[in-house]
Structure 1
Amino acid sequence: MECSCLTCAACGWRTLCNPAEGAARLRLVGLLRRAGDPDPAIVGELLREAAPRMTCPSCKSIGLTAKSAAAEDEELDDWQAAILCEACRKPIPTERLEALPSVKRCATCQKRAEAGHTDDEPDFCPRCGALMELRVSRGSGLTRYRLFCTGVPACRST
């Protein structure tokens, strides 16, 4: 029994489909007849072909990708083994990690930090450690925008 993984590149939505669920999705786009149980291998192949025409149930964008569950598991294992950059949260290339094992940033973010561009780093609440969010305050003038704590429950730190 071959399962397939459908993924939306736009929003990151992901689901795992067994052959019966895959057949139901293919029927929605008009690729399978309602009667009968199709071969699971055919369902997997049709899902990979039809996925670019399918709509994401989360963000309603058209264009999903379909992979076999085994290929998806291998890819997830690679992703989980990757070390993420502390600034952009993207995987640091393995070549960089082999050369500099203790590195915490990718080359692009490291260059930006060395050049003094640290505007990408978020502010954290001094009381609870949650992210701070820039919002419009009730006042006017130069102090119209202030940082507010986004912690749950908010610690009312500004």
Structure 2
Amino acid sequence: MNSEHPPTSTATGATREAAEAGTRTHEFTMRFSSTPRGARLARRLVADRLDAWGHPHTSTVNDTLTLITAELTANAVRHGHVPGRDFEVRLTTRTGGVLRVEVSDTRTERVLTLSLDESPADAESGRGLMLVAALADEWGTTPRVHAPGKTVWAVLAPS
């Protein structure tokens, strides 16, 4: 499922979406298999979409949001995987060039904590959200409204 369409003023029932109505300038949404290959494809398609929207592959904005997407999709595959269920990526731009990426998975019993305590120096993982927090202007998590699971999102306001 791939969609790109102009802003809409139709309310969908979700508070966040209602708040964004009329301010979105671009939107890209796609579901991916909950596998490392799906995460790689999501990262590449986000980079390509950003390029098409005027943020070239070599730009800081593209590099930064692609890295954030890579971390969030890797987490969705590693920690949010439910056999037989995909994860979803949604990328939007709003008036003023603000970019938002959302990665939704269907795992309900693993709730993301916003604690950014450092991982032990010898740990092989555990630094992804610290990286997201350092790169994004805002980030957080919300429960999914129309399906089980959660959405982890990050906002980048290009300067």
What TM-score comes out, normalization by structure 2 length? 0.22
Q: Whose radius of gyration is greater, 1 or 2?
A: 1
Scaled by the length of structure 1, what TM-score is found? 0.22
Structure with higher strand content: 2
Higher relative contact order (CA 8 A, sep 6+): 2
